[in-house]
Amino acid sequence: MEFWTKTVAAPTRAAEFALEAEDRGWDGVDVVDSQNLSGDPYVFLALAATTTRKLGLATSVTNPVTRHPAATASSALSVQTLSRGRMVLGIGRGDSALAHLGRAPARLGWFEDHLANLQTYLRGEEVDFENTGVSDDAAPHAEKLGLAHGPSASAIRWIGDGPKVPVEVAATGPKVIGIAARQADRVVLAVGADPKRVAWGIETARSAAAKAGRDPASLQFGAYVNVVCCDDVRVGRELGRASTGLFARFSVMYGEIAGPADEQQADVFHKLHDSYDMTAHGREGGQQTAALTDEFIDEYAIIGSPEHCAARIEALLDLGIDKFAVTGPNFASPSPPAREAAERFTDDVLPLLRG
């Protein structure tokens, strides 16, 4: 049972944030990789590694388009070496990082090929040059250089003998869940905290693993959960509204809803899709947040007292989730009510779960 907090990659406060996260009892820190909206995650994670002893360090999440798998593997291995084995590589198809390049998330086949290559690099094995994904339009073959000798395949040659960096795939729809079940070390579901939806995601992954010849029992599961610990539920809903809208949109990215949803939930999902403003991505007051009803927030997210939050999380533990990427207010928020909610999670909720 692990609990990770999430933040943007602000390098000037990386060391301070990581040290406080560790002191507050978090198991790890997830850092955004969205080049137009945030700093470089690997700079943040490297700085965080130098000031902490046991805090886990992860991208949450990188994508297969803006970074070549060899470059991603090298960056992750650099943090792995510096932190002595605490790095986790979180990856998805891409959202804001690609939207701010005028692109939609990566194509499914491209994503799975990227994951296969990434895992190969992280194991210290070779990728055939023809499968590296570098097009002739970008760079011609090295044969044109007339070298006397050169590498015969692509590999990370300095990998060393340390533990492999685990790869976690953020997944929402059934096809990406299937890819994660085939390629990832852990499937991290971004489907909300509604047990019906989480159970659907787990079953979808296990079914895909079985079809691919992978033991479904070998799968590990995590979940992104929007949590606001606040006795006044009305205040809590407002504190969690922006992050809930951001994550709920993943379930209706292309207009079709992924996972189970009743009529009222479906109506909210469709309104969220139609009103989403990427220029206000994750921000309070974005027009998309108006689509979220109180009932939807209460089901998709976890809002309420410490006892209520702990009970909702325990229900997900019972389903097989063993790692929680907690989104919403964190202890570095500029808003006093948001900081208070974040502090109550570590001070009041975690003891109920770990006691």
Phi, psi of 253 (to 5 degrees): -55, -40
- For residue 342, is pLDDT > 80? yes
Domain boundaries along the sequence of the chain: 2-136+155-232+306-354
Cα 92 from Cα 96, distance rounded (Å): 11
Q: Which residues contact 161 (CB under 8 A, 6 or more apart)?
A: none
What is the per-residue pLDDT across 261-318, written as a single tens digit (0 to 9) for each?
A: 999 999 999 999 999 888 877 777 778 888 999 999 999 999 999 999 999 999 999 9
Compute the mean pLDDT over every residue in the chain, rounded to the nearest whole number. Answer: 96
Summarize pLDDT for 196-214 with one digit per residue, the tens: 999 999 999 999 999 999 9
E strand spans, the chain = 2-7, 28-31, 56-62, 87-91, 167-171, 186-189, 221-229, 302-304, 321-327
Which of 110-114, 320-324, 332-336 shows the lowest mean pLDDT across its residues? Answer: 332-336
Tell me the average pLDDT across 46-54.
Answer: 97
Residues 69-90 have a mean pLDDT of: 98
What band does 83 get if pLDDT is binned at 50, 70 and 90? very high
Q: Which of 322, 196, 296 is nearest to 241 (CA)?
A: 296
pLDDT at position 148, please?
95
- What is the C-alpha to C-alpha distance for residues 113 and 116, in angstroms, rounded to an integer? 5
Q: Are 133 and 69 in contact (CB under 8 A)?
A: yes
Tell me how long the chain is.
355
**Would you state the pLDDT for residue 281?**
76
Q: What is the pLDDT of residue 283?
A: 72
Question: Which neighbouring-strand residues pair with 186?
Answer: 168
Q: What's the pLDDT tens digit per position in 158-204?
A: 998 889 999 999 999 999 999 999 999 999 999 999 999 999 999 99
How many other CB atoms are found less than 10 A from the CB of residue 148? 5
Between β-strands 221-229 and 321-327, what pairing exists: parallel, antiparallel or unpaired?
parallel
Q: What is the pLDDT of residue 151?
A: 94
Element (H or E) spanning 16, and its range? helix 14-23
User: 21 falls in which pLDDT band (50, 70, 90)?
Assistant: very high
Buried b (16+ CB within 10 A) or exposed e, 121-134: bbebeebeeeeeee
pLDDT of residue 102: 96
The pLDDT value given to residue 107 = 97
pLDDT of residue 284: 77
Q: What would the pLDDT profile of 221-268 be if each residue is shown by its tens digit?
A: 999 999 999 999 999 999 999 999 999 999 999 999 999 999 999 999
How high is the pLDDT of residue 332?
A: 94
Please count the CA atoms within 13 angstroms of the CA of 96 that sit on its side-chain side: 21
What's the pLDDT at 272?
94
Q: What's the DSSP call for residue 137? A: T
Closest CA to 37 of 92, 89, 98, 91: 98
Asked if the model's pLDDT at residue 25 lies above 80, the reply is yes
Q: What's the burial of 270, exposed, middle or buried (CB within 10 Å: 0-12/13-18/19+)? A: middle
Please tell me the pTM assigned to this model.
0.96
Q: Which of 154, 157, 165 is nearest to 77 (CA)?
A: 165
CATH architecture of 2-136+155-232+306-354: Alpha-Beta Barrel (3.20)
